[in-house]
Each structure stands twice: as C-alpha cells, then as structure tokens.
Structure 1
C-alpha cells in the first residue's frame, strides 16, 4: 500500500479523498471523505434500511435515494462500486 512519505497517510485509491455528488451526499454526507468510508456508509445505510433481498443477499433493493445512485430499482453488490464511481470526484 502506498503512503505519503511526509505524513504517513495512505494514498491508494481507497484512501484518497473524494467528493460525493449531491445525490450520494444525501446518504453519506456532503463533505470530502475516502472511498472506503463511502462504501462503509453505504453498507450501513443498506443494512439499517433492510435493503438486501431476503432470498439473495447479494441483491440490493434500492429505495428512492439509492435509485438515484444506481439508476435502477435494484443492483448486485458486485456492481455497486461501478455506480458509486459515477458519483465520486477527486476532492480538492
């Protein structure tokens, strides 16, 4: 894992600061954060709101907020990061 020599901060893709879009910010907050935090907050939101399919836990049933992120009513956990990437830009 890459680190910044001066600060010791992790600089790989998961730990680089990103800015969520307004739609994603409604779920994870609108302040710059790391991609790892975004994914963690999305999973917390999914579990808190019981949005995983009962029979196939790999399927996420999108509510109104997640529909804006996914662009559809359900998505697999494997394609979730692809949808999140469209709503993240480098912070700075």
Structure 2
C-alpha cells in the first residue's frame, strides 16, 4: 500500500507559505467602507397600484339580511364584518357581557332573535349564529 506524503503539505500550511490563505481570506469577509450608502430602487413589483374599483368579495361584500338582523343593525344590506362590529357595539352599549366571565354574552330580546333563542352564548359562537341571517 502506498502512503501519501502529507508531512510537507502540513508543514507548509503551518509555516504560512500557502498563497490561498494569505490576504485573500481576510478580504473576503471585510466590511464595506463606512462611506458607502445603500440605495433603494423602486421597481414595478414594489410600487403598489391604486385600487381599480373592484367589488368587495367574501365577508367584505354586503349581503341582504333577515328582518331580525335588520332590526338590530338598521340596514337591509351589510357585510359580515360590519354586522359583527355593530353586534359587538350593541353588546358593549347595553352591558350584555357576564361580569364574572366576559366570554359569555347574556342575550336580551333582540339578540335572542338572532342567536336562535338562546339566553346565553359564548363569544366564539357569535359568527356562526349570525350566518343564517345572511340571505343569498
């Protein structure tokens, strides 16, 4: 079996005689001069385009609501997000949250019509219980 002479290579490395590790290794990681400035160039991909009059979709689109919901929100068409905001405003105005557990809503007569006749509901149930009141 032939042995590879590595003693010469290793001794040259320790002595610093290799050209590949001299100054080049230090300049690769050098910081740019402090006087350099980064310039940001605006491209078509980063510039936002103004809205082109698109109609809202999904939960942002106004839909017709049931008469019970209309009695609470006051309009015949409303988006789900706006309806939720108005329902929560009504709950806060009339102090309909349970004082010990704010996650529970105590329903008055208007809310009972919307929330399937329940006396109390959890705040996570609100979005699901208003779904039948949005007409297609």
With the shorter chain as reference, the TM-score category is 0.7 to 0.9
Matched, 1:38 2:86: no
Deviations 1:36-67 (A, max 9, x none): 11000000000000001111111110000101
Indicate the structure with greater helix content.
2
Distance apart, 1:30 and its partner CA: 3.0
Q: 1:26 aligns with which of 67, 71, 75?
A: 71
Displaced runs of 4+ in structure 1, greater than 4 A? none
- Higher share of residues assigned strand: 1
Name stretches of at least 5 consecutive residues in structure 2 with no aligned partner: 1-50
Instruction: Determine the C-alpha separation between the residues in 1 that align with 2:64 and 2:54.
Output: 22
Question: Does the CA-based 8 Å contact 1:22-1:30 persist in structure 2?
Answer: no
Q: Which residue of 2 aligns with 1:7?
A: 53
Higher relative contact order (Cα pairs below 8 Å, separated by 6+ residues): 1
Please, what TM-score do these two structures have when normalized by structure 2? 0.58
CA distance in 2, matches of 1:57, 1:33: 26
State the TM-score, normalizing by the size of structure 1.
Answer: 0.83
State the SS of the aligned residue for 2:114. helix
**Structure 1 counterpart SS, 2:124:** coil
Q: Which runs of 5+ in 1 are unaligned?
A: none
Q: How many residues align?
A: 85
Aligned to 2:93: 48
How far apart are the structure 1 equivalents of 2:87 and 2:113?
Answer: 13
Aligned alpha-carbon RMSD (Å):
1.5
